[in-house]
Amino acid sequence: MNPLAVQPHILAASSRRVPPAFIEKAEKHRRRGELDKALEACEKVINQCPGYVSGHIALARVRLDMGDMPAAQDALNAAITLDPMNPVAQNLLARLDLAGGLNEKATRRLKDILFFYPNDVEAAALLVDASRPTPAQQARPSSEPAAVAPATAQTPAEVAQAELENLRTTPGVTGAVVVDPQGLPVWGSLGRGEQADSITAAKTSAALQVWGDAWAEAGRPSRAIIESSAGRLAIVPCGDSVLIVGLSPRIRPGRVLGIIDQAAEKLKAVSAAQHEGYPFGTE
Amino acid sequence: MKDILSELNKTSGVLGSAVLAPDGLVIARQASTALASEELWQQALKAFGAFSDISESSGCGQATAVTMEWSHGRLFARAVPGGILLAATRGDVPLGQVQTAVEQAAAELQGDGG
């Protein structure tokens, strides 16, 4: 079956008018935490128009907020029966797969989404999560809930190294390094030797000054992408530090920018924790 | 050259564009009064130079294009024969759309000048 083909029941559903206000109403209730009212609004929409994909997705979100995962899964399965490659439904299902430790299933699902929607940042980010070992693979006792795992608190350096390692295993990423405020490479590598990393770090520090001074009216520097025939470099300030990521010339940057931004956010938190002088992840 | 810049400026979100020689001389510029200052474009060129330095030192070679983003705006810079093409945009403009327009303008400038 061609997943992109418009299914007859979708056409039938779209020919029946569903007032968008119903979904908006459900979402409004959900955001306010009025889950019973949100559920009622969703069920009303679905009863009125069972082929309305967004209605099933809205219902799934409500069920997720209620903590009823099996019911959320049912609603999402209904959505993808109607629209097999709906990226919102597929991403939510991938999240459920990951939550259940079904990383391989999530990976297959996410790769399918990225095949049809290569710029889907959420799917790309989830794929990184899916590549991490499951709790079972880490041989953690199954009775030990993941939420209390930070008994082994990591130092900022360990968290940063782990984050960079994850980044480096992302398809298309050739290297990643964090540069401190003094212009020195502190974590990671761009893969072209220590000397090249040191010079690049110093030059990046100098460029940051020029970048910040130029067009100050446009706000704070948030990201730069340098392109050359040999590849691309993404430069993202994260707190006092800067993250430099090397990218293969064959990869479309849009596909990994979301992942890089997420890593930068985490490194920013690491940097802040380090300044405050306590192990990252503990109070 | 001005026609090519005017056409580029028609892309949604583009606030102005210019072509500068590597020494900072403004060869052509089409921009609103907010971006009328030559110094502003020269600062942008300086930033392009700084990023190009990073590219060379990291072993990637000379930069052909740089996209600089701030919290409220973006600047696209692309090497063209005899200089650098710069385009300033709002911060909420899709990257791909402007990149395509800048590529097209660069190709036209290559035909125009070279």
What ipTM was estimated for this complex? 0.92
Give chain B's domain count. 1
Q: Residues A143-191: pLDDT tens digits?
A: 444 444 444 456 666 777 788 888 888 888 888 998 888 888 888 888 8
Dihedral (CA of A114, A116, A119, A120) sign: negative
Q: Give the chain B residue nearest A227 (alpha carbons).
A: B65
Give the residue among A126, A232, A257 at the shortest CA–CA distance from B51: A232
pLDDT at A132: 72
Least Cα separation, residue A71 to chain B (angstroms): 36
Place of tokens 């025939």: A229
Query: For residue A137, what pLDDT is reported?
Result: 58
User: Which residues make Cβ contacts (< 8 Å) with residue A265, sequence separation at least 6?
Assistant: A238
Q: Could you say which of A210, A218, A228 has the minimum Cβ distance to residue B46?
A: A210
Q: B67 is in which domain, residue-wise?
A: 2-113
Residue B57 in contact with partner chain A when CB distance is under 8 A: yes
Whether residue B53 and residue A203 make contact (CB cut-off 8 A), yes or no, is yes
pLDDT in tens, B24-83: 899 999 887 777 788 889 999 999 999 999 998 888 888 999 999 988 889 999 999 889
Q: Which helix (H) or strand (E) holds A39?
A: helix A35-48
CA distance A32 to A14: 29
CA distance A246 to A231: 7
Question: Please, what's the b/e burial string for A26-47 (b: 16 or more CB within 10 A of its CB; e: otherwise)?
Answer: bbebbeeeebebbbebbeebbe
Smallest CA–CA separation between B52 and chain A, in Å? 7
pLDDT (average), residues A78-91:
86
pTM over 0.90: no
CA gap B109, B102 in Å, rounded: 10
pLDDT of residue A156: 67
Selected from 3.40.50.720, 3.40.140.10, 3.30.450.30, 3.40.50.10490, the CATH number assigned to the domain covering A150-276 reads 3.30.450.30
- Cα dihedral A53, A57, A59, A60 sign: positive
Query: What is the Cα A189 distance to its own chain's centre?
Result: 23
DSSP A195-234: HHHHHHHHHHHHHHHHHHHTTGGG-SEEEEEEEETTEEEE
How close, in Å, is residue A279 to chain B by CA atoms? 30
Q: Closest residue of B to A252, CA-based? A: B96
Distance of CA B72 to the CA centre of its chain: 17
CATH number of the domain bearing residue B75:
3.30.450.30
Of A204, A213, A227, the CB nearest to B63: A227
Written as six digits, the tokens of A139 are 């041989």
User: B71 vs A218: CB contact, 8 Å cut-off?
Assistant: yes
Is B51 touching A (CB cutoff 8 A)? Answer: yes
The predicted-structure confidence for B15-38, as pLDDT tens digits, reads as follows 999 999 999 899 999 887 777 788
Cβ A211 vs Cβ B48: under 8 Å: no
Distances (CA, A) of A11 to A6, A8, A22, A59, A84: 7, 5, 20, 21, 14
Residues of chain A with CATH 3.30.450.30: 150-276
Report the chain A residue with the minimal C-alpha distance to residue B78: A227
Under CATH, what is the fold of the domain A8-130? 1.25.40
Cα A102 to Cα A106, A111, B36: the distances in Å are 6, 14, 57
The segment with the largest mean pLDDT, out of A171-175, A186-190, A233-237, A279-283, is A233-237
Give the best residue of B39, B60, B89 to mutate against chain A (max A CB count within 10 A).
Answer: B60
Answer yes or no: do B51 and A224 touch at CB < 8 A. Answer: yes
Contacts of B60 in chain A (CB under 8 A): 226, 228, 230-233, 246
